[in-house]
Structures are given as structure tokens and as C-alpha cells.
Amino acid sequence: MVWLWRVLWRNWVPAARLGGTDGACRSAGLAVSLSARYYSTKTAPHIPGMEYQDAICTLNTLQTNASALEQVRRERGRPELQLHAMRAFLNRAGITVEELDHLNIIHVTGTKGKGSTCAFTEQVLRSYGFRTGFYSSPHLVQVRERIRINGQPIGKELFTKYFWQVYGRLDETKEAHGGTMPAYFRFLTILAFHVFLQEKVDLAVIEVGIGGAYDCTNIIRSPWVCGISSLGIDHTQILGDTIEQIAWQKGGIFKPGVPAFTVRQPEDAMAVLRDRAKEIQCPLRVCPELDDYQVDCGLLRLGLAGQHQRANASLALQLSHSWLQRRCLPDKGFPADSVDGSSVLQAASFKPSPIMVKGLADTEWPGRNQTLKHGAVTYFLDGAHTMRSMQACVQWFRETAAQHERSASGPVCRVLLFNATGERDSAAMFKLLLPCQFDFAVFCPNITEAIASCNADQQNFNVSLENMLTRCLDNERSWRLHQGGEEHGDDGRLLILPRLPEKRADTLVFPCILSALQWITQNRDPTLDRAVPPVKPGLKDKAAPLRQAAHIHVLVTGSLHLVGGVLKHLDPASSK
């Protein structure tokens, strides 16, 4: 305990600069909550019908349950009913809104970057030695990823135990409440609150699901600090069509007297946030550029790749700093006004403590520039699906893969595994990806295993799968056209297209993620099921460079669904 305090205080530069002392923080009651840590080690009893898989199945019934969907439909016209309903479910689960005040919450919304902002913030505060809770969405492989304690998804045992506690209470009270059960996201939010209360976290970082004002996480009354990352157009049917309407929704998480921070926003959006802050009497500040913070070591290093993460990191610094100050130095008042004339005031930059610097550098976020080395195969996973994030992904891959290649003992084969869902502009992304000099560009739908038909020999694909594959083939063709060279036109005639200076990649399409991985890795990844890769006639020779290379580098990108699907096969532990 004493040791922890030393570490906390020695490295806490901002507090020292403000003249803070140990006493101030102790009197804030923090010492009590830290020493009362409780690590639940009890394992849940194995009750048939109530094991982990049963919990997951039951959870999934909430997703599609007709009565829950009906309820959402009823509330759509009157959004204020949503929070009302959420409060009722929370109470039925045995939790009061007042109890949530003990969670010491940091509440974050935004269109882009709210997940990474939360990840930075959580890592920084965890680096101080606090026991953190972190609620985020969506998940990549397992729903447990959404509820984290000290950065780790809660274990199956804990998930199962707490799931049945919450589900049981809701189920018992169903009759008295017209048979209603909360829908999926509401249920998970209640579960997260329950887990964080039971596990006695020192703080909880809570990411909004959709919007802000009427999002079910917004039943919390008194977070310590709020954050808004980049606003953009998303979920327009639910939130309203214009950036002003979106800003109005997001500004709905402001609370009277609770400091809030935002990154720079388009002017029209900022005006709405400013008015919302005024109306709610919330002191709002705009974050400075990351380069404005004084650091001894030159540039702040971030654990998440890409220039665009720098604004998110600045927001995270302000959130952690403000949380530390308010939580531990309660006498330090916070200015109530946010507006100087008509513009939102800028937050002061400060000198990040060594712990903060380390926290930013250590931040990881699954599926975002993640590296996995399995035998002779190294996977580079990044769920980039916008032009900006793809740019960052390409830069990261080129730098990191080049580093790995320098230490490789022989030739390295570079493979792209790509899928982009929906109407995203794959062609524009291909232009960004071409300079990576791939030997192979592999396309597949975002399905992990095409059940019985995951076998290229079997031509019994059903219609939807066939449609997916047709689109994959279109993508493959689009890639080939982009890289130029000799191509066959639609009528089968040979075309000579201008060639780019980049290496020409061989292209392939597979019916599912597993078959693509099996072909790419050629049994050289010991963790992958060693099923014989399905081989189409003519493919066999193509694979020779993969078998001969000293190392295979696979970049998996284009969508988080694809990355999640790949992780399911590569990281069996995560899917257990």
C-alpha cells in the first residue's frame, strides 16, 4: 500500500505542481477505496443450463426478442422514455442510480475515436495503480471484451456468475412489468455497472453506445468528467441528419458543473456543443494539440498507430488529468463558465507525468494495429475501414513489416487479406494498399466458416453466399485493374493496362476466412487447424512462394468484422 502511494505521488507531476499532498487525496476517501480492493476469485458453480455458453445463448435471445424490439419501436418517437425505461430495468436488477455515483465515472462519446480515447484514458489511469473498469463496444470475438477490469476482458467464470445474477433479478420481476426484458445493449450496460460495483473498481471508463442524450449509459448522474471525440455523420436514421443534430445528441452527456473536454470540431458542431454546455451549465474546454504539451523526451509516443490518434490522446490526457485533480484534490474548484464571448475556451496544456507518458505509449486496443507471431507467420491486424485509418494502417504496416524483415533469415512473403463490408469504397483503399508490395492479395467474405460449403470444390453455395463471392470477385478484379499490367477484359480478350511501379500481387478469392487463412499459411501456423487447405485446380503452384519463404507477413484489414473473424481462428483462447 505504502509502495503504491509512493509510486502514485512521486510520479504525479501535475498534482505536485498544484501543490497537492498525500493528505489531500487520502481525505478524498480514495485511500479507503484502494485499500478495500476486492479480487473475486470464487468460481461459479457449474450448474447445468447455467454455464457460460448458456449465458451467451440467453443473452442473444435479448437481441432478437420481439417484445424488446417492440419496446424500442414504441420509444422511438419519445426518446425521453428510453432513459426512463433504462432506470426501471436498472432498479429491477437491484441497482439504484445513486449507487452508480460510486463508480467514479469518465463518460465518453463521439463519432470517431471514442474507443481509442477511452483506451488511452483507461491505460493512463491504470498505470497510476488504480483498479479500472472499462465498458466499450462493439466486441471483436467475445462479448466479454466489452466489460474489462484492469484492461482485461472479464473471465468466463465471472461473466457467468454476474450474468445470472442480473438476468435472474430481471426475470423474476418480469411478470410485474408486462413481461418486458431489456434489449441486448441495455442489458449489457446494466451488467457492466453490476460487475464494476461488485468488483469494486476505483473508476470506470464508460463509452456511450449511440449518440449521448438518450443512450442508456446516460442514466449516470455524476461522472467526474466527460469527453467528446470527433463528431461526424453516423447512425443518421437514429440520431438526426445534420452534424448539428448529432452534436446536440452528443452534448446530452454534459452534466451541470462536471468538466467536459472535446477535440476540435467543425464550426457548426462546436457552436451546438457550446450552447448545450451553456444550457446545462457544464464547463466545456477544447483540447490543445498534442504537441503543445511539454515533454522531456521530445515527441509523445502513442501505442496506437496513426497521426489521427494524436487528438484522441490529447483528449485522454485532459480526461485523466481532470479526473485525478477532481478525485484527489476536491478543493481545487473548476471554473463554471465555458464560454469566452462566443468561443469555447481552450484547456491548458500541462506537463504530462512520466506515468501518463508511459500510459499513452503502452495503450493497446485489440484489432487496431495488433501484431501476432505464430511460427513462420506474422499477422498484422488492423480494422481500418475509412480512408484516414487505412492511411495510418498502411504506414504502420510498411514500417513494422520492414523492421521485421530486416531481422528475417531469408525471403519474406507479403500477403494482404482484405474484406470491406457494405458500400465502402474498396477501390480507393486499394490505391492506398498497393505500395505495400504484396506478393498475394486475398479476398474473402467476412464469414468465419461457410459451414458445410467452406470448401471450394463443393459448388453448392446458396444464393447469399454466391452473391458475396461475386462481390469478392469484383473486388479482386478491381485490384488487378488498379495495379495494371496484362488483364483479361470482360469478354476474355487480353488487355494491356499501364503498369504501376509496384510489384504485381497474385490475387485469389476464398469462400470464407478459415479457407483463406489455411491457404495463406500453408500449415506453417501451428495454432491453426491443420485441415488440408482446399485447393482449386491451378492454385497449387501459386502457393510455392509461401512454403519457401523464410517468413510470411499477413496484413488483415478493411473491416473490424474481418479482423474479429480472423482472431477467432488465431487466438483460440479468446473464443473459449
Ligand X SMILES: *[C@@H]1O[C@H](CO)[C@@H](O)[C@H](O)[C@H]1NC(C)=O
User: Which residue ranges are tagged as binding site for Mg(2+)?
Assistant: 137, 207, 235
Q: Does 422 bind ligand X (CB under 6 A)?
A: yes
Q: Which is nearer to ligand X, 8 or 517 (CB)?
A: 517
- Under rule CB under 6 A, how many of the chain's residues touch ligand X? 51
Q: Where do the DSSP E strands lie in 16-167?
A: 105-109, 132-135, 147-149, 152-153
Q: Does 475 bind ligand X (CB under 6 A)?
A: yes
C-alpha cell at 68: 424488446
User: Which 17-46 residues touch ligand X, going by CB under 6 A?
Assistant: none
Q: Over the Cα atoms of the chain, what is R_g? A: 25
State the alpha helices, DSSP H only, in 288-419: 309-328, 354-362, 387-406
Q: Does 259 bind ligand X (CB under 6 A)?
A: no
Residue with the CB atom nearest ligand X in the bound state: 113
Q: Which is nearer to ligand X, 104 or 518 (CB)?
A: 518
**Dist CA 291 CA 355 (whole Å):** 18
Contacting ligand X (CB under 6 A), which of 107, 112, 414, 551?
112
Ramachandran angles phi, psi of 230, nearest 5°: -50, 135
Please provide the distance, in angstroms rounded to a whole number, between the alpha carbons at the two ends of the chain. 35
Contacting ligand X (CB under 6 A), which of 370, 507, 521, 557?
370
233: how many CB neighbours lie within 10 A of its CB?
11
Stretch that binds ligand X, among 82-90, 200-208, 466-474, 531-539 (CB under 6 A): 466-474
DSSP 393: H
Rounded to a whole number of angstroms, the minimum distance from the CB of residue 49 to ligand X is 14
Q: Does 270 bind ligand X (CB under 6 A)?
A: no
Q: What is the dihedral sign for C-alpha 128, 129, 135, 136?
A: positive
**Dist CA 78 CA 390 (whole Å):** 39
User: Which 128-147 residues touch ligand X, going by CB under 6 A?
Assistant: none
Q: Does 450 bind ligand X (CB under 6 A)?
A: yes
C-alpha cell at 168: 435472474
Contacting ligand X (CB under 6 A), which of 71, 104, 426, 557?
426
Q: Does 150 bind ligand X (CB under 6 A)?
A: no
Q: Does 65 bind ligand X (CB under 6 A)?
A: yes
User: Which 526-565 residues touch ligand X, going by CB under 6 A?
Assistant: 561, 565
Stretch that binds ligand X, among 151-159, 189-197, 297-305, 404-412 (CB under 6 A): 297-305
Q: β-strand 132-135 against 147-149: which pairing, if any? A: antiparallel
From residue 334, alpha-carbon distances to 242, 252, 323, 352, 366 in Å are 32, 20, 12, 19, 35
Q: β-strand 339-340 against 343-344: which pairing, if any? A: antiparallel
Q: Which is nearer to ligand X, 205 or 220 (CB)?
A: 205
**Dist CA 245 CA 261 (whole Å):** 19
Contacting ligand X (CB under 6 A), which of 21, 43, 458, 462?
462
Q: Does 66 bind ligand X (CB under 6 A)?
A: yes
Contacting ligand X (CB under 6 A), which of 34, 62, 166, 239?
62
State the alpha helices, DSSP H only, in 458-559: 463-483, 513-521, 544-548
Contacting ligand X (CB under 6 A), which of 464, 503, 550, 572?
464
Q: Which residues are annotated as a binding site?
A: 137, 207, 235, 368, 382
Stretch that binds ligand X, among 17-25, 60-68, 197-205, 290-298 (CB under 6 A): 60-68
Bond prior to 572 in cis (omega within 30° of 0): no
Rounded to a whole number of angstroms, the minimum distance from the CB of residue 265 to ligand X is 9
Contacting ligand X (CB under 6 A), which of 34, 100, 104, 113?
113
Contacting ligand X (CB under 6 A), which of 160, 322, 419, 518?
419
Rounded to a whole number of angstroms, the minimum distance from the CB of residue 564 to ligand X is 6
Rounded to a whole number of angstroms, the minimum distance from the CB of residue 185 to ligand X is 14
Q: Does 222 bind ligand X (CB under 6 A)?
A: no
Burial (CB count within 10 angstroms: exposed 0-12, middle 13-18, buried 19+), residue 324: buried
Q: Which is nearer to ligand X, 160 or 229 (CB)?
A: 229
- Taking residues 429 to 448 in sequence order and writing x for each that binds ligand X by CB under 6 A, - otherwise, the string is --------------x-xxxx
Strand partners for 382: 557
How many residues appear in the chain?
576
Which amino acid is present at 11? N
Q: Which is nearer to ligand X, 309 or 518 (CB)?
A: 309
**Cell numbers 498534442 label which residue?**
290
Q: Does 298 bind ligand X (CB under 6 A)?
A: no
Q: Does 418 bind ligand X (CB under 6 A)?
A: yes
Strand partners for 106: 205, 225
Q: Which is nearer to ligand X, 27 or 395 (CB)?
A: 395
Q: β-strand 147-149 against 260-262: which pairing, if any? A: unpaired
Contacting ligand X (CB under 6 A), which of 15, 181, 520, 566?
181
Q: Does 71 bind ligand X (CB under 6 A)?
A: no
Rounded to a whole number of angstroms, the minimum distance from the CB of residue 497 to ligand X is 20
Pick the closest to residue 118 from 204, 187, 201 (CA basis).
Answer: 204
SS3 207: strand
**CB within 8 Å of 195: residues ≥ 6 apart:** 133, 147, 149, 154, 158, 162
**CB within 8 Å of 308: residues ≥ 6 apart:** 113, 388, 389, 392
Q: Which is nearer to ligand X, 125 or 417 (CB)?
A: 417
DSSP 304: S
From residue 62, alpha-carbon distances to 65, 75, 164, 180, 189 in Å are 5, 17, 14, 10, 13
Stretch that binds ligand X, among 38-46, 241-249, 296-304, 344-352 (CB under 6 A): 296-304
Residues in contact with ligand X by CB under 6 A are 61-62, 65-67, 112-113, 116, 179, 181, 229-230, 263, 302-305, 308-309, 311-312, 364, 369-371, 388-389, 396, 418-422, 426, 443, 445-448, 450-451, 453, 462, 464-465, 468, 471-472, 475, 561, 565
